[in-house]
Each structure stands twice: as structure tokens, then as C-alpha cells.
Structure 1
Amino acid sequence: MDLLRFITCGSVDDGKSTLIGRLLYDSDAVSLDVLATLEKRRHASGAVDLALLTDGLKAEREQGITIDVAHKYFTTPRRKFIITDAPGHVQYTRNMVTGASNAYLAIVLVDARHGVIEQTRRHTLIAALLGIRHFVLAVNKMDLVDYDQAVFDRIVSDYQRVAQQLRLAQVVAIPMSALNGDNVVRHSRQLAWYEGPSLLQHLESVPVPADANPNEPRFQVQYVIRPQTEQLPDYRGYAGRIQSGTYHAGDQVRIWPSGLETVIEAIEVNQQEVATATAPQAVVLRLRDDVDVSRGDTIVPTTAHPAVTRALEAILCWMHERPLKAGRKLLVQHHSAVVKASVTAIVYKTNVATFEHHGADAAQLNDIVRVQLRTALPLVVDCYQQNRVTGALILIDEQTGETLAAGLVTETDPEFFASPAPAVAVFFI
């Protein structure tokens, strides 16, 4: 069976943790001992507190909000799932960014009583920037508005404007009540006017893509294996994870950023030689020639064309209380590669309420900004839209080691920094 990774997002108290709990509970993915614990703690209405299945921190249970990112796993006869439960409070936006970075689908929850609000827009914007193409608008708590279709239609209309502004590829809108289980796993009589799929039915039918970059292999060295023992006096291997594409023993490859060429002598997986390996396998590559290869270097076939640059432009989600200003020195971490860099310019800041771009002198906590960076040493990167793995990076404070921002590479050639984005169709089901 294939695997679908998805994230639940939206504003605080829209019911994200309860929705995940309902998915697990109604699909029989909760163990008996956990069920027994849930039975001891119920809502005033007598319903099981399903949010406890994901809110595992003591502070989360005391405050009734999600703080950290939680991952849950479950399987149906048709598919395997990894669920990421992201916090809805604006204070924990950085955690939502982390959770969305590996998701393929986003469930955006909206409280039927409140409709589309600022945090709904912020989370949708972040998910779209992170390359998520499939969205589910989950209009939750329909039981609190008497399952009124007019309320649902109004929220769908409001969110459609958001989808059009962000040019989302596909949005499926589903009315539901996570607390009561309406339209989560099974259809509800209370929502007889709704003729679309339940949430689980839709999750089971969304196509899961294969490697998005089969023709552009990428492998970054994480560790150089040089045991120098009597049994292996001349052994030298380069360990890492294949980020995209497929590698073959015998491939002619180039080492970036040095540009040296050699041949893959052997590929090892779990200490066994294999003829080929593909993303996202962890492998050890052995090269024919004794060339200089270090942690952070990228090994690609000579037919591949990554950008090797010291100047790039990126979208940042600023995650630190101290504002970002042009000229600031920091570190850029691109997987295993860490280089010194400076922010040469803040191109614009995105207004979360309108999605318009405005000039800005600084970026505050949780701001979405586009910046230009210049690094001390070349980085081997791709634009995020072409490769989600090699187009992502983080910014780090070089003195404290704190994470300052998550970044998505948008351009690696200054001549194209101002090029417009392509149009994308919007569909509602």
C-alpha cells in the first residue's frame, strides 16, 4: 500500500486534535489499553475526549490546546497514513511550519461558528508556500450551527477567495462534526444535503505521487566513512540519503561545489552492495577515484544540473522574537551543509490578511518575507517548486545556535528574481 502524509491545521480550538482522534477511533486504530484510558475522561456531554490521543504533553492537557507537533500512524485496507497534528495558536506557528514541510495534503479546519479567520489564512498561506497541492476545507462543528447548509456554503465561498488568491491546485470542502463523527469516517444523516465523500473516503482516494524529480538525482554527503582498519585499510564511503532520483553503480558523477568528476564504484544499502538505489533510501556511495569529498558536498550524475550559487532568493517564515533586518549576518543550513551568510535585502513582506506584498525594513515574529541572501561559500540547491527537499533551508543564529527562520529557495539567479509565478487552476468538489 502507498503512504499519504497529511497535516491538520487552522486556528486554535477549531478541533484539529479531536478530528484526528475521531479518525483513529472510528477506523479502529486505537489500542484497547488506550481506549480504557479514554473512557475514564469524558466531556461534560459524556463523549470521549478524543483530543487526548494527540495532545500528549501535560501542558496541552491542562490548557486544552496543542503546543507541539504530534505524529500519528494508522492504516486502512486501502492506504497507510501519517498524520501531523499542528498547533493552531499563532505563538506556535514555527511548529506548524515544521509539521507541514513533509506533508502532501493539508486539512484546514474552520469552526462553523467563526468562519475563515486570520489564522486560517496564515496556515493556508504557509501550506501553499511549502508546496502542498491538495487541500481539504474541513468545516467543523456543524452540530453547533444546526447542520445549516447556508453556513457551510458561506464559508466555502469565503475560502474560495483565499484559494483563488493563492492559486491552490485543488480544494475539497467537507462539512463535519469531529466530536460526533459526522462525515469523518462515515456519512451522516444530519448532513444529508451533502453529496460528496467523507473525509476518510477522500483521503483514501487522493493520488500519492512518486518521486517528483526522477530525472534530477540529488545526494548530499552526511558522513565520510573512513575506518582505516586492517580489514578495510583503503575503504572510503560517503553516507547520506538520496534526496531525489535514482543512482546506479557505474554512473559518471560530479562532486559539487568543487566540480570534480568520477564514477560510482559501488552502492551499499545496509552493508550490502546493490546495483541501484532510489530516493529516499539511505545509502553509502563508494567512488572509483580518491577525490576530495566532505560533509555537505553534493554528488550528482554529470547529466544533472543543480544550481551552484552564492546568491539566492528565498521565502522565509521568521521564527524569532528579534526582528530580521537587512545586513544581518547568520548561518544558512542546507541539510548537512552549513555556511555563513548575510541578508542583503528584504524584498517584501506578505500581508496575511490580504496576501498582498509590501515593502518592509524588518521582519517580525511569524512574518512571511522574501529576502535575498549571499553566502560565503557556494551552496548546491534547487528552487523549492522543482524539488521540495533540496529547495528547503533554515537560518541559524551563529552565536546562540537558535533556529531563526525556515526558508524556501525561490530563485538562484538574480536576473530572474522578479519573474512572476505561473497561474494555477482552482477546483472545488
Structure 2
Amino acid sequence: MPADRLRFITCGSVDDGKSTLIGRLLHDTRQASDDQMAALARDSAKHGTQGEALDFALLVDGLAAEREQGITIDVAYRYFSTGKRHFIVADCPGHEQYTRNMATGASTADLAIVLVDARKGVLPQTRRHSWICALLGVKQVVLAVNKMDLVGWSEAVFEAIRAEYVALAEAVGIERVQAVPVSALAGDNLTRRGDAAWYTGPTLLEHLEAAPVPALDTQGAARLPVQLVLRPHQDFRGYAGTLAQGRLSKGDAVLVQPSGHEAVVASVAIGGREVEAAEAGQAVVVTLDRERDVSRGDVISALSAPLPVSDQFVAHVVWMDEAPLVPGRGYWLRIGTREVAATVTEISHRIEVNTQAHEAAKQLAMNDVGLVKLSLAAPIPLATYAESRALGGFILVDRLTNATAGAGVVRHGLRRGENVHWQAFSVDKAVRAAQKGQTPRCVWFTGLSGSGKSTIANLVERGLVAQGCHTYVLDGDNVRHGLNRDLGFTEADRVENLRRVAEVAKLMVDAGLVVLVSFIAPYARERETARSLFAPGEFVEVFVDTPLDVCESRDVKGLYAKARAGKIPNFTGINAPYERPEAPDLRLDTTAATPEVLARQVIDAIGG
């Protein structure tokens, strides 16, 4: 029986033969059933690229678009085994636009097969994929120099490609490279020897069967990310998860992080059966000797060696979204079993993956890789990716669409995040609000320039003050004279503009005020990020809905005329987008009522 399991990926540039190699490998190891072979014959006749011969790539390319276009789009996983080992292989797409899919496959791989077309040599996408493999912890590579039959099995061609790739591997941090000359289509040097007498190394399968599998760290300090709190009845409270590192035994002293509460492990169970200890990689349920507030996303760590806790860290990020990564924009960060609001505060540099050069950048486009700094809404226990894939790898999720926008690896925490703590005071928001006899809120007016935001906000404040309320108005133009005078009107500057204002508004609400924010706020993501800073009910989004032509007809400041004349770049509604609120808390139709009537609607809505 096979003794262990190797997870590997195939990657490289377009048309290097990745799917053909995997299909041929499955065929030659007799992993394809009779039904699959019959389907392959039919598909080869319809979509194949090999004339009357079987097109082995179609064993792996499962999407209709892949078969029609002859490319790999999604990551295709296949399982097979030999007498020596089990395998899970991820066939990854070669097109640059699907780099995010390749990164997904690499994140769990132990080894990568990097294919290179012998006629083309090492290409930019070869370098990109190799760099991402190294970034995501893949330290061993099989360099499969494919289509050797088309260059006459030239040893000189093979050696030149091997030497170039070894130099690349050393530069990006790949530790082990085994180069194999192959013909994926004919099957040479996959499971059997080819015709090149000069090659005396292992076949591809022989190397896969012998390649070392990185062992889980069972000797380090225990780390248990809590996935689920089990409470079947009032006499039992257990914490379930997969032990990410170390060994956890009954009687061990542990620390619940990030809360810092100490406890002792009362019991350890695997598969419903109590055991004395569990090791890394095992799914366990543990109980503690005392009542502790433990939730999903917490980490139970060895008391003798806890993880550092911080709300700021440095990470490498592979950006996957069509919308660029802009500092200041908010996302959900999912790391281990925890989800927390996060913001990229700074892009230190973009990495040119073909040369590994560091380039200055204000944003990251899709498929870019960069070194960034992140700030979290709450501190979390942090492990570097080098220490733990399970606890050091994360994804960034778009707040609006819930789509994965980026993937990253923790490099190190920032000391300022570890050493700066929120100072609690005896006089809090509730006391300040009670003193003023009001419910503090942030009322956020959004709409096009000239829609009437500031006019209505001014009337709302006058009405609230007349009723004895304590208020303040944050106006877009006024704030740009001081706090945000260093910001322009690029997308990145607009995002930072709104981030700062939202933080100021949060402090004003904490002071017990009703703060009225009058900003265009063109991006839905930033408005949602602003909302997330406040407690439920504290944030009221007011959409001042005025058609563009009406705003232009007013043009009190002459801005639309300048924008139309090309004198103002990035002007919202003309040459920059405005994302209308889909579900505002209050919509004001300025074409149907006077500002005074609309202001009264706002006051009534917030209970003033």
C-alpha cells in the first residue's frame, strides 16, 4: 500500500503542455477508467489537436471553454496513486489573466512541476509562476523540459534551459530543482525511459515517488485555531479545530489568544474518542479546566510560547481582483479560522516577478505582487508564513461582492501594532451621550457635486441645534483645507480622504455628538467601510439623489464646466465614476421636494 501522499501542481507558460503531461501520466499509470478513455476518444475527435491520435490534455481540461479553446482556465485537481505513493495534482492555467487560479493551487502544494517548451525556453510566465511558488512555500521543483522530440532531443538545448532555470530558482528561493527532459505527448521520461541516452536521471514518476514530503511541525509549540465551539448541552463546552503545529496533551498549560486568558487542557478527543495527546494535522476537540470566553477564530497556544498579537503586519500579496488594490480601501481578511476587517495602509513596493526588481507603486493591478502593510480592526495572534502555512496565509475578501480579491502571506508583525493599545477611560461614549441627552450618530450625506448635500446638511444641523442637540458638520471642501489638504483626486487619494474622515467621524460619535458628513464619497466600498466603524444603528447613509443634468445646471462653483473643458481630471460624474447607493438608509429626491422638506425628513428619520 502507498505509504504517504504528495500534493503537487503543474505550472508554466501557455501551451507548454501541462494538461497533456498530466493526462498522459494518468493514462500511463492506468488511472483512467474505460469510460474515461471512451469519452477521451470522442472528445479528441471533436476538440482534439492531435489529428486522429488521442489528445491527453482533454482528460484534465473539464470546462467546455477549456475544450473549445484548448487552454486551461480553472485549477483541475486529479487524484491517483502508485504502489509507492498517493498523489493529488493540480493542473494550473498558464494564461497571465488566470494567475490567481495558479496561486490557489500553489498554496497547498508540496512540489511544483514547472514545464518549459524546449523550443521557447524560460518565458516571463515561467518566471512569474516560479516566483509565486517560492512565495507560497513551494521549495522543490521538477523542471520538465517538454517537447524535446521537436528539438531532436538536443542535450545542449536541455542544459541551457536547465542552467537558466537553476539560476532563477536560486534567485527566488527555490531550494531543490530536478530537471527532466520529456515528451509529454509521447510519454518519454514520464513513466518510462525515452530515447535520449545522455539522460541518466530519474523519470518524472520516479522523482515524484521519491520526493520528500514536508513534514508537519510536531515538535514546535502547540497551535490550535478554533474552528467551532461545541455546546451540545450545558455541561459540555469543547473547542474543535485542526492542530496546526506541535503537540497538545491533557494537562498542558495553554493561553487563549488574543484574549490572553490562561487555562489547562482538561481533555483531548479525536474522532469522539479521548486520547492523551494529539499532533499537528489531527482534527481534535479539546476542553479546558475552567470557563473561558473562546470563540471561532481564537488560537489556543502553548502557554510557554504564545504567538505575538498585533493589529498591524507586513505581507506579500498576490492581487486577484480586476479593481486595483488601493491603500485605504477596506476588505475582510480571513486568516486561519478568523475573519477581521482590514485595510492596506501602504504599498511598500511592487515586485516585477520577471526580474524580482522592487518598483514604487501607488496601487496593485490584477496579477501584481507587492509588499504591503495592513492594519486590522482588532488584534490577532500572528504567525509568519514561514512558521505556519495554516496561520500565516490569508485572503482578502471584497466587502460588497464577497469575492476573493487577493491572497497573501504574513512576513512579520509591526512592533507599533504590538505596543500600541487602546486606552480605556472612565468617561465613555454612553456617559458623554447621556450628558448631552441624545443618541450619537453619523449621518453620511452622499451624492454628486451640486446635488445639495451641504445645503441639506446645514439645514439639518440648524434644526437639530434648535432642538438642543450637540452636532458638527464635516464638509468635503472644508476638510480639504486642513486635515486632507495633502490629498488630490486620484482614486487612491479619494479612498484615503474618506478613510480619514470616517475615522474622525467615529471619534466624534464617541464624543457623543451627532456628526453630519457631507462628502461625494463616490465608491460603495468606502461607504461600506465607513459604516463598519460604527455600532449597529449609529451610521445613517443618506443618498442625495439629484440627476447629473440638474447638478450641472446648477454648477454654482463652475466645476462641471471646467471638467467638460478638460481642465479638471477625475471629476466625479464626468470623467470619474460615481457608484450610486443600492440600499441607502434614506433617499432624498431633490427634484420632488425643497431642501427644507428634505431636511425635516432626515431629522425625523434619525429621531431628532
* TM-score, reference length from structure 2: 0.66
Q: Is the 8 A contact 2:336 2:394 kept in 1?
A: yes
Q: Residue 46 in 1 paired to residue 69 in 2?
A: no
Q: CA distance change for structure 1 residues 397 and 213 in 2, over 3 Å: closer, same or farther?
A: farther
1:33 offset after TM fit, Å?
A: 2.0
Which of the pair is proportionally richer in strand?
Answer: 1
Q: Give the secondary-structure state (helix, strand or coil) at the position aligned to 2:170.
A: helix
Letter in 2 for 1:196: G
CA distance, structure 2, for counterparts of residue 165 and residue 58 of structure 1:
38
**Is 1:127 the counterpart of 2:133 in the alignment?**
yes
Q: Tell me if structure 1 keeps the 8 A contact 2:255–2:306.
A: no
Q: Which whole-Å deviations, capped at 9, do the CAs of 1:67-116 have from their partners, x for residues lacking one?
A: 11111111111111111111111111111111111101111001111111
Q: How does 1:23-42 map to 2 (within 5 A)?
A: 23-42=25-44
Deviations 1:321-356 (A, max 9, x none): 111122222221112211112211111111122111
Q: 1:92 pairs with 83, 98, 102, which one?
A: 98
Q: Which region of structure 1 is more displaced relative to structure 2, 43-52 or 59-68?
A: 43-52
Write the deviation string for residues 163-204 of structure 1: whole angstroms up to 9, x where unpaired: 232132111111100000011111112x11111111011111
CA offset at residue 39 of structure 1?
A: 3.2
Partner of 2:378: 377
Is the Cα–Cα contact under 8 Å of residues 213 and 387 in structure 1 kept in the other structure? no
Runs (5+) with no aligned partner, structure 2: 418-608
Equivalent residue for 2:214, pick from 209, 213, 218: 209
* SS state at 1:185 partner: coil
Which of residues 3, 6, 9 is equivalent to 2:5?
3
Q: Name the aligned partner's letter for residue 206 of structure 1.
A: A
| Structure 2 CA distance for partners of 1:140 and 1:99, relative to 1, 3 Å | same
RCO higher in structure (CA 8 A, sep ≥6): 1
Q: Distance in 1 between matches of 2:188 and 2:52?
A: 17
Letter in 2 for 1:30: A
2:244 counterpart SS class: strand
Structure 1: 4+ residue segments shifted above 6 A? none
Q: Distance in 1 between matches of 2:230 and 2:264?
A: 18
- Hey, what's the Cα distance between the residues in 2 that align with 1:188 and 1:415? 59
Answer whether contact 2:217 2:280 (CA < 8 A) is retained: no
User: Counterparts in 2 of 1:178-327, with a 5 A limit?
Assistant: 178-189=184-195, 191-212=196-217, 214-228=219-233, 233-327=234-328
CA distance in 1, matches of 2:166, 2:353: 16
- Provide the secondary structure at the position in 2 that maps to 1:40: helix
**Pairwise mapping of residues 351-366 of structure 1 onto structure 2 (< 5 A)?**
351-366=352-367
Q: Identify the residue that residue 573 of structure 2 maps to in structure 1.
A: none
Tell me the alpha carbon deviations over residues 247-277 of structure 1, each in whole angstroms, 9 at most, x when there is no partner. Answer: 1122111100011011111122222212222
Distance (Å, rounded) in 2 between the aligned partners of 1:153 and 1:376: 52
Q: Distance in 1 between matches of 2:162 and 2:5?
A: 28
Range that drifts further, 125-134 or 276-285: 276-285
Matches within 5 A, 1:119-198: 119-189=125-195, 191-198=196-203
Whole-Å Cα distance in 2 between the matches of residues 62 and 123 of structure 1?
A: 25
Q: Which residue of 2 aligns with 1:427?
A: none
CA displacement 1:118-157 (0-9 Å, x = unmatched): 1100000000001111011111111122212222122112
Higher helix share: 2
- The secondary structure found in structure 2 opposite 1:152 is helix
**2:218–2:279 Cα contact (<8 Å) kept:** no
Question: SS state of the match for residue 284, structure 1?
Answer: strand
- State which of 60, 66, 86 in structure 2 corresponds to 1:60: 66
Q: Quick check: 143-152 or 4-13, which moved more? A: 143-152
Which sits farther off after the overlay, 274-283 or 124-133?
Answer: 274-283
1:334 aligns with 2:335: yes
- Following superposition, the deviation at residue 208 of structure 1 comes to 1.6
* 1:397 partnered with 2:402: no
- For the 8 Å contact 2:43–2:58, the answer to whether it is kept is no
1:15 equivalent in structure 2: 17
Distance 1:137 1:213 in 2: 31
Distance 1:324 1:162 in 2: 28
| Alignment check: 8 A CA contact 1:348 1:369 kept | yes
Give per-residue Cα distances to partners, 1:210-246, cap 9 Å, x unaligned: 2135312211111111123xxxx31111111111222
Larger displacement relative to structure 2 (101-110 or 373-382): 373-382
- 1:409 corresponds to which residue? 410
Cα offsets for 1:288-315 (capped at 9, x unmatched): 1111111111101212231211110000
Q: Quick check: 1:213–1:386 contact (8 Å CA) kept in 2?
A: no
RMSD: 1.6
The whole-number CA distance in structure 1 between the counterparts of 2:245 and 2:77 is 24
Identity over aligned residues, as a percent? 49
**Matched-pair contact (CA < 8 Å) for 2:218–2:280:** no
Code of the aligned partner of 1:100: A
Provide the C-alpha distance between the structure 2 equivalents of 1:394 and 1:41, rounded to a whole number of angstroms.
Answer: 37
Cα distance in 1 for residues equivalent to 2:277 and 2:167: 46
The question of whether the paired residues in 1 share the 8 Å contact of 2:40 and 2:58 is answered with yes
Are the aligned partners of 2:10 and 2:115 in contact in 1 as well (CA < 8 Å)? Answer: yes
Q: Deviations over 1:360-417 (max 9, x none)?
A: 111111000000111111111211112122110111122221211101000113489x
Specify the SS of the correspondent of 1:113.
coil
Which deviates further from its counterpart, 327-336 or 401-410? 327-336
Aligned to 1:424: none
Segments of structure 1 that go 5 or more residues without pairing to the other structure are 417-429
